[in-house]
Amino acid sequence: MGQAGTFTIADSEGVADRYEITLNDEPARMVTTTAGAVQQVQIAPTRSGPNILTVQAFAPSNQNGPAVSYEFRANTGSDPVARFKLDEPSGATTLQAVTRNGEPAVSATVHGGVTTGTTGQIDGALQLDGSTGYASTSAPLIDTSKSFAVSAWVRLDDPDGRTRTMLSQDGTSKSGFYFKYDGAYRKWALSKVKSDSAETGTYQSFSASMAELNTWTHLVGVYDDTTRRLQIYVNGQPGTPSPEVTSVWNATGGFQVGRSLWLGNPADHWPGQIDDVRVYDRIVGQQEAEEMVTQHPVLKARWKLNENGSGEPAGAPALVLQNGAAIDPTAGFREWASPAGLKLDPAQKQFAETTEPVVDTDESFTITGWVRNGGRPQQPATVFSQPGAATNAFALRYVPGEDPAEQGGWQVVMHNSDDAAAPVLTASHSGFVPWDWSHVAVVYDALRDRVSLYVDGQLEETADGVSQQDQILGFNAAGNGGLQVGRNKFGATDGTEFWTDALDDIWAYQGALTTEQIQSLAGDIELPTADGP
């Protein structure tokens, strides 16, 4: 994957003056010919496993021949030339990269206003001051005239409308590439200039949407010398490719983290954080870009509720049972799978809670559990909620319909700010079965600004849409009490919307679980905690 091979194309009719070539779902490219003559073309597979190359011949009259497809398989791509995890402790002056087996060690030296040891997207990260801070290698890591790819997690502070560069490689006068926030367009961009001189001329690939500031974003920048185009991916999604790059050159200076070079001077220093920098001497396709974004969820707590409210694994907070709530042997979610569960009596306003939030609600998180109802609740009833100061960061609840005896469904509610007047953003699911157990899950994906509501391991897909809501930013509910199980903390002094029956086997993750992972928790078995996603 990502390495070019040679493909031979010919028109058996002997009339074509061009061939249209499409690889997988990539944009088509044209190759000229004369009278259907043989052409040899460099193609780099963009994904591992099956790849499909489709070619169609066109005559000078624009008459087209049949489309012909050729399937071939590609191995996984080579590891990065260098991967800077940036997990060094506070005060470190050298950043060590992971390199391929048998290849020389690579390190970068810290300069100026750089703070190591800060909390990153994956363990530690660099914090850069936006004026003097950067890190650099003593030698180039890639040939910028050939195919390459770079990636990083970045968090950009307010740039005051200025362009800021996260990654580059020095030439003599300019950088061989600029992976940056473009202040003029307010978008992420990968760009190359025509020459290492004062001559003007730039090729650029831009993100499809405006850049989001003050939040972690994953970016991949690719130059493919078989297509002569630049491509950028934001959280795994492609941007607009550049025009054809007609002039290439190799920058032979050091690789830079947090700045660029312009007319011989360091420029566009990065204000914010950078984490997990990867440098490849090959292209990266969309499949691989998406896989880089996939977060590995971290289990924060699991409550079996078989004996008490204690949590697993070691160090997980306990659920404190309130107002007489109790563990009941008749409340296991399946009699053959779980020996007990949490029984709640809404008349006694019973619920359970942790003393502090279990997950950061402004980052990706997942909360799942089994819930039993005693028939359709006639009023809204809450299963899980996390209070902020003025409103819930999220609440998973049952809401009756126009005819409460016959209608109603699940709903997850989120807000973009801790303000009681903030717009209510909801995802709904009608998969409610009276007098039975259901597995429910709320998944917030902060990278895609999306909340998803699963019932029994499935999203609901209807003509009106899917049980998801986009454009959700979330807010941090720290300092306002813990996770609520079986009630909404707001309203009356002792809360509202108390759940009507039982709950069991609750899991809380920092990170967005996939559909397959949700389904593994929705099976009719009480998994050992170590076997969970």
Those residues whose C-beta lies under 8 Å from the C-beta of residue 405, and which sit 6 or more positions away, are 376, 378
Q: What topology is assigned to 5-74 in CATH?
A: Immunoglobulin-like (2.60.40)
Q: How far apart are CA 79 and CA 421, in angstroms?
A: 49
Tens of pLDDT, residues 212-251:
888 889 999 999 999 999 999 999 999 999 999 999 999 9
Q: How far apart are CA 301 and CA 529, in angstroms?
A: 9
* The two three-digit tokens of residue 354, written as one number: 């942790």
Between the alpha carbon of residue 187 and those of residues 236, 268, 458, the distances in Å are 15, 15, 35
Q: Is the pLDDT score of 295 beyond 80?
A: no
Count how many Cα atoms sit within 13 Å of the Cα of residue 476 in the half-sphere of its side chain: 5
**CB 382 within 8 Å of CB 396:** yes
Q: Is the pLDDT score of 296 beyond 80?
A: no
Q: pLDDT at position 520, please? A: 95
Q: How far apart are CA 532 and CA 527, in angstroms?
A: 7
3-state secondary structure 118-132: EECCCCEEEEEECCC
Q: How far apart are CA 178 and CA 192, in angstroms?
A: 6
Q: Degrees (nearest 5) of the Cα angle 416, 418, 420?
A: 100
Average pLDDT estimate for 311-320: 94
**Fold match between domain 5-74 and domain 298-531:** no
pLDDT band for 388, please (50, 70, 90 cuts).
very high
The pLDDT mean for the chain works out to 94
pLDDT band for 66, please (50, 70, 90 cuts).
very high
| Level-2 CATH architecture, domain 298-531 | Sandwich (2.60)
Predicted TM-score of the model (pTM): 0.72
Question: Who has greater pLDDT, 160 or 248?
Answer: 248
Q: How far apart are CA 142 and CA 107, in angstroms?
A: 14
Q: pLDDT at position 194, please? A: 95
Q: Is the pLDDT score of 200 beyond 90?
A: no
Q: pLDDT at position 158, please? A: 77
Q: Degrees (nearest 5) of the Cα angle 496, 501, 503?
A: 95
For residue 368, give the nearest of 531, 518, 469, 514 by alpha carbon.
Answer: 518
Q: Is the pLDDT score of 125 beyond 90?
A: yes
Q: For tokens 């813990």, what's the residue?
A: 482
Q: pLDDT at position 212, please? A: 87
Tens of pLDDT, residues 455-484:
999 999 887 778 999 999 899 998 889 999
Question: Who has greater pLDDT, 160 or 147?
Answer: 147
Q: pLDDT at position 243, please? A: 95
| Level-2 CATH architecture, domain 82-293 | Sandwich (2.60)
Domain boundaries, the chain: 5-74, 82-293, 298-531
For residue 150, give the nearest of 134, 166, 163, 164 by alpha carbon.
Answer: 166
Tens of pLDDT, residues 402-420:
999 999 999 999 999 999 9
